Structure 1
């Protein structure tokens, strides 16, 4: 029964220690499934041999029982013929064969019980293997996700979020300052242009006044 002890150890490791081992979980999972498949194959072979042995014991038992019955019929024929001595010898043969048949019957009973127990264990192993195969893809996917999350965590750990956002804030302040300076320059430029226009208008008005005075002077002279 060492094969079943081995499978039991694998199942315990599969359930309790899978992600606590130092080895790669993916390799462990795949290896466990492979070992369980090998265990099921070996136990199935052992069951087949046990069934074959049980059949042989059954055939042997039935053969001896039939022979014992044949000797009993011969004893009856001898008695009917009046040959009591021959009948006794036939019954002695029957008794010997019956004793052997009883021994094989006991062995057959024990073999049947052992085969039944072995079959139950094989069925349990097959059920566990089926469960393991169903869980294999899920566990592998979970392991890959864990690796991805771990890698992402390392990347984020190397990225100073606070420092980088502080640099963004400084850049934003500089841009806002530049925008304010540009707006101020535009406003000053607009204001300067307005004064120039007023002075030009004033100069133009003064020139017209002079021209007007000269024109009046000419008209008075005339």
Structure 2
């Protein structure tokens, strides 16, 4: 039986067009960790929050193709916190929490498995080279609570990415993100210093963290069987 893994998320996971490269979403590399009989369908979209994703009926579009046995990966938070934008802002409590439950219930109602992924951390450090635990506000913690309350599988990518950033340090993490000097790339003639969106290298690292989290999860034994490898060595980039 073939299954599909749908990604519902924002720009950190979304497929980037030619005009946006070398910016890359981690979802672009997740398929490489699965066997060819398993499909990753990346529906993440730049700039979306749980609120705007639902309002634009993007979850409804997924539901039309979602089948029993499929997986729904849910990763939001970066844009839910945009207080200045009423079309996207979803307060951590109760709106963000309630929206996550809508995603979870959709997958279960259609015979599939919802999986919550805490937001990938922004590149933000405190004194002493410590990654800022509030780099995406309260949203990762609220998602952890929702996972506990609803019995939903959780991949804590916020924690995993912060561990990676701590290991690499302030300077060592720059190449993971969109930091380019002026005229370095035709898509970005002006210099860019973006600590939210990933370079190609950064996206590969985060996809590796997601694959590692699946491999280490006790709540996703069936999904784990679709991975190409079962040993830790199957996931390049760990701690690199």
Superposition TM-score, scaled by structure 2 size: 0.19
Question: Larger Cα Rg: Structure 1 or Structure 2?
Answer: 1
| Richer in helix (by share) | 1
